[in-house]
A and B are shown apart, each in its own frame.
With several copies, the nearest count.
Chain A
Amino acid sequence: MIRVQTEDFDLGSELKKMTHKQTTVGGLCSFVGLVRDMAGDAEISAMTLEHYPGMTEKALAEIDAEACERWPLQATLIIHRFGRLVPGDQIVLVAAASAHREAAFEACHFLIDWLKTKAPFWKLEATADGGKWVDARDSDQSAARRWLQTEKDKPTNKDAAE
């Protein structure tokens, strides 16, 4: 499931819904991204997330579909906020539920790595010097590229039990 919203989300109830009455799920992996109070040396007082309505949902749905094709998943979830956030606020939640823990971990990791480089969101950080658009990071690019490897080249074992 995909959601793009300004409102905060309740982590516990979102995750609980994913496994509720699901007795085939052996593992649920989730990742939450939060606003930090520092960017390098600069103190952050707020962060404004801009996005491209329409394309965002489309891009997230494609990432989600790709994960469901690569791994045997019982449920997936992507929630991404936009608008003004302050340090400590939740920005994003991605989660994957599977019979097996490796699939849950890999799919969850994949979701956030691809989201970071493909979903049209932009962060504007408010510091004492004014607003500054966050630069894209090479490390995010290489994290995303990792998932371009073919399935059989992947270094991890996908058959480990939950």
Chain B
Amino acid sequence: MKVLYFASVRETIGIPEEEIELLDGMSTVRELMTWLKQKDGTYERAFAEDALVRVAVNQEYVTLQHPISKDDEIAFFPPVTGG
């Protein structure tokens, strides 16, 4: 899966994107987040407040319950502030 980070989330994690292998037990966005948080403290910090993290799968907004699969593009970012 291609995982993208934007704005403050990107800044905290330190990279704009990475390839992550879909593992067993990683079937939803929430499970991917949990896995990332366990991997490294920077993800823990970036995702500290669940309510402030927005997720898009294949460029559409989704909830944390959304299923993920290996060809997905998954993006994490804070609430948008354009306009």
Direct contact of A and B (CB under 8 A): yes
Q: What is the CA–CA distance of A49 and B82 in the complex, to the nearest angstrom?
A: 8
Chain A contacts for B83, CB-based, 8 A: 33, 80, 91-92, 112, 115-116, 119, 121, 140, 162
Partner of B6, one of A33, A91, A120, A134: A120
A58 pairs with B59, CB closer than 8 A: yes
Residues of chain B at interface, number, CB under 8 A: 18
**What string of 1s and 0s marks CB contacts (under 8 Å) between A25-69 and chain B?**
000000001000000000000000111101100110000000000
A120 pairs with B79, CB closer than 8 A: no
Q: What's the nearest-Cβ distance from chain A to residue B55, in Å?
A: 11
Q: What's the nearest-Cβ distance from chain A to residue B8, in Å?
A: 5
B7 pairs with A117, CB closer than 8 A: no
- Which applies to chain A's interface (DSSP): helix, strand, loop or mixed? mixed
**What string of 1s and 0s marks CB contacts (under 8 Å) between B10-41 and chain A?**
11000000000000000000000000000000
Q: Does B4 contact A (CB under 8 A)?
A: yes
Chain A contacts for B60, CB-based, 8 A: 55, 58
- Which applies to chain B's interface (DSSP): helix, strand, loop or mixed? mixed
Q: What is the CA–CA distance of A58 and B59 in the complex, to the nearest angstrom?
A: 8
Q: What's the nearest-Cβ distance from chain A to residue B53, in Å?
A: 12
Q: Does A124 contact B (CB under 8 A)?
A: yes
User: Nearest chain-B residue to A57 (Cβ)?
Assistant: B59
Q: What's the nearest-Cβ distance from chain B to residue A129, in Å?
A: 16
B81 pairs with A123, CB closer than 8 A: yes
Residues of chain A at interface, number, CB under 8 A: 30
Q: What's the nearest-Cβ distance from chain B to residue A2, in Å?
A: 13
Q: What's the nearest-Cβ distance from chain A to residue B57, in Å?
A: 10
A136 pairs with B82, CB closer than 8 A: no
Known contacts: A50-B7, A52-B6. The answer to whether A135 contacts B81 by CB under 8 A is yes
B82 pairs with A116, CB closer than 8 A: yes
Q: What is the CA–CA distance of A157 and B10 in the complex, to the nearest angstrom?
A: 32
- Among B32-83, those with CB < 8 Å from A are 56, 59-61, 75, 77-83
- 6 A-B pairs besides A49-B82, A58-B59, A135-B81 with CB distance below 8 A are A52-B59, A91-B83, A112-B83, A117-B80, A120-B77, A121-B82
